[in-house]
Homo-oligomer: A and B are copies of this chain.
Amino acid sequence: MKQLNLYAENDFSEKAFKKLLVHDSPYFKILNFNFQPGQELPVHSHDIEGQLSLVILEGEGEFLGEGDSTLPAKAGDVVISDIAEPHGLRAKTNLRLLVTIAPPI
């Protein structure tokens, strides 16, 4: 078993969102992104098989999708998306996001 605490290992920066590689294996890749208000992970997609989960651990913002579509994002929200489907996130408050990608990119 491998253990770490996201609150201890990753913080926030005014310059840009902060990214932490939590885990990478042949089975899945896990990343933590911390955003300050206004920071965003721009909409993107990869033309490959697989899915990802976006979990909001803390804070509020918007999930970004195809075109200009948005969905409200708040603590406890889970979004599942194909890797090939456009996805992104914009923060309105300090926001902690956990992303799990399977299989790993």
Contacts and interface: CB of A to CB of B under 8 A. Distances in A.
State how many copies of this chain the complex holds: 2
Interface of A is mostly: strand
A75 B96 CA distance: 12
Contacts of A27: 50-51, 102-103
A23 B74 contact: no
Given A28-B102, A100-B28, A5 B55 contact: no
Contacts of A7: 75-76
Contacts of A25: 51, 80
Given A1-B63, A1-B79, A28-B53, 12 more contacts: A1-B71, A3-B79, A4-B77, A6-B76, A7-B75, A23-B78, A25-B80, A27-B50, A27-B102, A30-B53, A53-B100, A57-B57
